[in-house]
Structure 1
Amino acid sequence: MISATQKKNSSLKGKSILTLSELSSEQIQFILDKAEQMKTNKEDGTHLLQGKIVGMIFDKPSTRTRVSFEAGTLQLGGHALYLNGQDLQLGRGETIADTAKVLSSYVDAIMIRTFSHQTVEELSLHASIPIINGLTDLYHPCQALADLLTIKEQKGQLKGVKLVYVGDGNNVANSLMLGAASMGITMEIVTPPGYEPQPSITKFAQLLAAKSGGRVMLHHDPFEAVKGADVIYTDVWTSMGQEQENEKRLMDFVNYQVNTTLLKEASQDYIFLHCLPAHRGEEVTSEVIDGEHSVVFQQAENRLHVQKALLAEILSS
């Protein structure tokens, strides 16, 4: 049960969520606790967003982000508006600033899934309502919150867990690194040379880890990194917008596939995570993602619960 003191100290009311670096470890913990509570009691908070409207801007296609935010808003008694970026006047040259000001007078919050993180920052700068980052080229904070919730459910704790991410140092890796660092997780990021996460984000995550008792380390040898790992995570090698790099990436990542040979080095009770969609046979084998250690569908379900927790705390009276 969440105490009144916890709630007061972790208030998110009216707050935009652009990256996890803007949230304290207490706020992250509060979101996870709230999500667990809502997951256990599906009737909890069914009227929290009554009369509230969430505008959802999509410049990138989505399954989990769209359905989880839309379903979550409806389950809390609110209404979600799907806004295709190309159907808005943004697609015809209207400025982000003008769009932010107009939408602020129509809806209570905006969730945006787009390419450039600068777009989200500019939207937040000019909006008078909360902005939630549903994904950009640099960050995917809502996914990382669902990842942390899944690890907590499976391992019973976050602090001290060893998490190994194998693959591209992309937006998912960036947000997961920030979240893990805040919560005292030991995270090792294994990439081919040249595919590491952005250095400034890594440095900030390492500063967070130093305060929480966690660690953030970069590696190029997956077999060395996964020794004793409690959690193994991977993502697609080629993200949306990188299709022209696909052939080169397939060659560069060929030794970074998560398969049963690699996982012999992990803890016996490891869990496997993937944010989906997955390309079976590339970054992960079917044997792993469909195997007994995989919790990818629990992880996907948890997108719904953390997003309901976020919406409830940001928008409820």
Structure 2
Amino acid sequence: MRHFLTLLDVSPEEARYILKRAAKIKRKLKAGKATHSLEGKTLGMVFDKASTRTRVSFETGMYQLGGHALFLHSGTTQLGRGEPIEDSARVLSSMVDCVMIRTYGHDIVQKFAEYSKVPVINGLTDLTHPCQILADVFTYEEQRGSIEGKTVAWIGDGNNMAHSWINGAVSFGYHLKIASPEGYRPDAKLLEAACALGANVTLTDDPIAAADGADLVTTDVWASMGQEEEQAEREQAFVGFQVDDRVMAHANSDALFMHCLPAHRGEEVSASVIDGPQSVVWSEAENRLHAQKGLLDFLLRGQD
């Protein structure tokens, strides 16, 4: 049994297999051919945080693979009434084949996985968002070929997506340049651990320096869910960190722009960039579906 709480829970070779499997499943779907590799399997989806893409992609993905997904909101389950996480894990994992959790503290998914009898997937925590990085790398490679040896620029908050890009540098071998203002840099321990495993990461407080020579430029909202009270403070801190045409002009001419969405045009990204020709955010969003099907297939069936 394997869990997927961070990207580093799978080896670089296994991460590559997941994307290869995702590509094969996507090609078959576009050709009108079904892949029912998870027929009879059930995914329990536990949500503490609101979601559009995570719920739709996992629910649709299980259906397309011949399985079934159950939506469980913490507010309407015993988890939301104070049942210990370990008790919920024991019970839920006795009834389903896999559990996906989208929540706040990373310790919640760790504790659930500790007591679960089935694979547990991190659908997002405040620390990491590993399913999104699978979709992002999958999207880049569809458009431009292997990401290994390329340069990725992260501009903005050192949040869960920044952490996922850091871990991705271990798995996929790209050079990551992160531009964040003082006080909003990535978690130092996570960065140190990834660099010890071979991640090539450069930190700067200059968005132009990060974008210079980049093959991919990506960002996220300045205030994530749960940080709404910090919105005004963060807007001040992130002045100059918007990904706009000036920033993109310093990236390579064929560089792509990504955003995990939802986006705030006029804040972390200009409308001219996210709606412009270098943006692949809509393909990126769709590829959550396909990358997660590759992941589910791997966790529940292993490698062919």
- Alpha-carbon contact 1:138-1:170 (below 8 Å) kept: yes
1:189 maps to which residue? 178
Q: What CA distance in whole angstroms lies between the structure 2 residues aligned with 1:155 and 1:50?
A: 34
Query: Aligned match of 1:31 in 12, 18, 23?
Result: 18
2:258 maps to which residue? 273
Query: Aligned match of 2:49 in 57, 60, 68?
Result: 60
* Deviation readout 1:156-214 (Å, 9 max, x if unpaired): 1111110000000000110111012321100001100111110011112212335xxxx
Q: How many residues align?
A: 300
1:58 shift after superposition:
0.5
Q: Which moved more, 1:222-231 or 1:73-82?
A: 222-231
Q: Report whether the alignment pairs 1:166 with 2:155.
A: yes
Query: Aligned match of 1:221 in 206, 218, 221?
Result: 206
1:40 shift after superposition:
1.1
Query: Aligned match of 1:236 in 221, 231, 239?
Result: 221
1:112 maps to which residue? 101
Query: Aligned match of 1:155 in 124, 144, 162?
Result: 144
Structure 2: any 5+ residue segments left out of the alignment?
none
Q: Report whether the alignment pairs 1:285 with 2:270.
A: yes
1:295 shift after superposition:
0.3
Query: Aligned match of 2:238 in 253, 264, 282?
Result: 253
Runs of 4+ in structure 1 displaced over 3 angstroms? none
- Alpha-carbon contact 2:179-2:203 (below 8 Å) kept: yes
CA gap of 1:39–1:122, structure 2 versus 1, over 3 A, is same
- Alpha-carbon contact 1:148-1:180 (below 8 Å) kept: no
Q: What CA distance in whole angstroms lies between the structure 1 residues aligned with 2:95 and 2:280?
A: 39
- Alpha-carbon contact 1:146-1:303 (below 8 Å) kept: yes
- Alpha-carbon contact 2:104-2:126 (below 8 Å) kept: yes
1:259 counterpart letter in structure 2: D
1:94 shift after superposition:
0.6
1:271 counterpart letter in structure 2: L
Q: What CA distance in whole angstroms lies between the structure 2 residues aligned with 1:101 and 1:300?
A: 33
Q: What CA distance in whole angstroms lies between the structure 1 residues aligned with 2:171 and 2:282?
A: 25
- Alpha-carbon contact 1:234-1:273 (below 8 Å) kept: yes
Q: What CA distance in whole angstroms lies between the structure 1 residues aligned with 2:141 and 2:131?
A: 16
CA RMSD in angstroms, aligned pairs only: 1.2
Q: What CA distance in whole angstroms lies between the structure 2 residues aligned with 1:180 and 1:63?
A: 27
- Alpha-carbon contact 1:165-1:188 (below 8 Å) kept: yes
With normalisation by structure 1, the TM-score equals: 0.92
Secondary structure of the corresponding residue to residue 198 of structure 2: helix
* Deviation readout 1:260-297 (Å, 9 max, x if unpaired): 01111111111000000000110001100000000001
- Alpha-carbon contact 1:232-1:273 (below 8 Å) kept: yes
Q: What CA distance in whole angstroms lies between the structure 2 residues aligned with 1:165 and 1:240?
A: 19
1:75 maps to which residue? 64
1:225 shift after superposition:
1.7
2:298 maps to which residue? 313
1:104 shift after superposition:
1.3
Secondary structure of the corresponding residue to residue 71 of structure 1: helix
- Alpha-carbon contact 1:191-1:219 (below 8 Å) kept: yes
- Alpha-carbon contact 1:182-1:208 (below 8 Å) kept: no
- Alpha-carbon contact 1:165-1:232 (below 8 Å) kept: yes
Secondary structure of the corresponding residue to residue 254 of structure 1: coil
Matches within 5 A, 1:90-109: 90-109=79-98
State, as a whole percentage, how many aligned pairs show the same letter: 51
With normalisation by structure 2, the TM-score equals: 0.96
* Deviation readout 1:51-96 (Å, 9 max, x if unpaired): 1110000000101000000000000000100000111111111100
Secondary structure of the corresponding residue to residue 56 of structure 1: strand
Q: What CA distance in whole angstroms lies between the structure 2 residues aligned with 1:117 and 1:269?
A: 36
2:131 maps to which residue? 142
Query: Aligned match of 1:262 in 228, 247, 253?
Result: 247
Structure 1: any 5+ residue segments left out of the alignment?
1-13
